[in-house]
Amino acid sequence: MSQQFSNDFWNRMYELAREAPGRNAEVMHDGGRVVVVQDLDDADAVLRKRLANYPKNLQWFAQVGGQSRLTEDGDQWRFRAGLSQPSFSRYDHDRGYAISARQARRMAGLLAANTKAPLLDEDAIHHSILSIFTEMFLDVELDRIPMAHDGPSRLIELASRYTCIHRGQGQDAHTKEHIRQILESRRQVFGGMQCLRDAGEYDSAMMRRMLAAEAVPGYDFRFEKEMTTLFVAGADTASNSTGWALHLLATYPELQERLHAGQRAIHASLPDGPERCKAILADQDLKAFVSELLRLHSPLPFVTRVARADDRLSDIDVHAGDVVIVSLIGVNRKAMARPDFWIPDIDAAAREGVGMGTGIHSSFTWGARVCGGRNFALLELTTVLSFLIAELRLELSEDLPVENEWVGQMRRKGGHRVRVTPRVLFSPIFDQ
C-alpha cells in the first residue's frame, strides 16, 4: 500500500462527511470491511455505552513507538493513565496560563518576523507549543533536551504508513529504507530523552512516577516510549489546531476582524495575569471560534476501533473483526441544521452551545477514553489564539483548494498559504 493510497482513504472520510453527514457508511479497503460511524448516537455506543466491544486500533503506532497510554486498553491503559493523569487533571491553572501566554508572545514574534513568507511557519508554532508542554509538566525548557523538537512527530509520521495495512497486505510499506528511517528516528528520540532520567536536574512529579513505574512487574513500561507519545499528544494536536485556526482567520477576514476587536479590548484593558486569563476564557466569540475550529479541523478527526463481536448500530450491522471508524467530523449533529455545515459561524455555535455534537466536545472524544489533557489543551489553545489574534494580521498568500495528507493526523498538504504581519496599532504584547 502506498502512502498516496492511504491519503486517498482518509480523505474519503471527509468526502463521506460532506456527502452524508450523520449517516453511517460501509467501505471496502484493502480487502477488508470498514464501518464508518457518523451517527452521533451510534458513536456514543462505540465510544461509551458498548466500549468493551470496541477496543482501540492503534497497534500501527505501538509497533513503531512502543506501548503507551495512547495505544493500550484494559489494565495496561489504566496503569499508564495513572502515571500522567494526576498531572493533567490537577495542574496549576494560573501557571498554565502564564506559560502559554509567554510562549504565545514568542510565537507571535517569530511568525511576524518575515512578512514576505508565503507559508505559515508551522515549525515555530510547534516549537512554542511543545515548549509549553515540557515546561508545564516536566519543569524543563525544551531546548535543554538534546533532540529535534519535531523528532516524535517524525516518528508518528513514519508509523502512520501502517495505519491502514491489514495482515498480509501492503508489503511495500515494509521497505528497508522505511524501516531504516524508523530505527534512526527512534534512536534519536529515545536517546534524546535519556537526559530526563537525571532526577537531580529534572524532577517533575510526573517523571518521578514514570521512572518508578519501570520497576513494576507485568507492564513492560518504558519511560522513553511513554514520553514520546505524550510529546505527540501534547504538542502535535495543539500546534496543528493553531495552524488551522490561522488558516480560517485568513480565509474569513470579517471573522478575523471581529475576533481581533474583542481580544484587543481585553488585552488593552486588563493587566496580564489571572484577570486577563479569566476574561479571555469567558469571551463568547473566542469560545465559539475554538468550537468551530475543532469541529471543522479536529486534531484527530477519526477514531479507529475493532469490533470484538457482532453488533447492530442504528442502520448497519457490525461484524466481529470489522474496523470501525468513528468520524468526529461527521457526528456534529447541531451544525448540520445550518445552511452550510462547512463555513465557520460563531453566532450559530454560540446558540448551539458546547454539548454533544459540537467541536469542543466531540474533538476530544468522550467516555472512558476521553482525552486526559482536554482541560489544559483548551486553556492553552484559547490563550495562544487570543494573543495571536490580538497581535497579528493573517492574509491568504494563495487561495488554493485545501488538500490533506495523513501523518497520524490530518495535515494541510504543502503547508498553510498564510502571510503574517504585525498589527502596528497595538503592540504592547511584544514589549512585555
* Greatest Cα-to-Cα distance within the chain, rounded to the nearest angstrom: 62
Strands 317-318 and 323-327: unpaired
294/278 Cα distance (integer angstroms):
21
195 is in an annotated binding site: no
User: Of 207, 208, 234, 210, nearest to 222 (Cα)?
Assistant: 210
For residue 165, the 8-state DSSP code is P
C-alpha cell at 424: 502596528
Kind and range of the H or E run holding 318: strand 317-318
Please say whether the beta carbons of 136 and 99 come within 8 A: yes
3-class secondary structure, 166: coil
393 DSSP β-pair partners:
421
CA distances from 203 to 136, 197, 206 (A): 12, 9, 8
- CA-based radius of gyration for the chain: 21
**Within 10 Å of residue 336's Cβ, how many Cβ atoms?**
13
Residues annotated within a binding site: 371
Binding-site residue numbers for heme are: 371
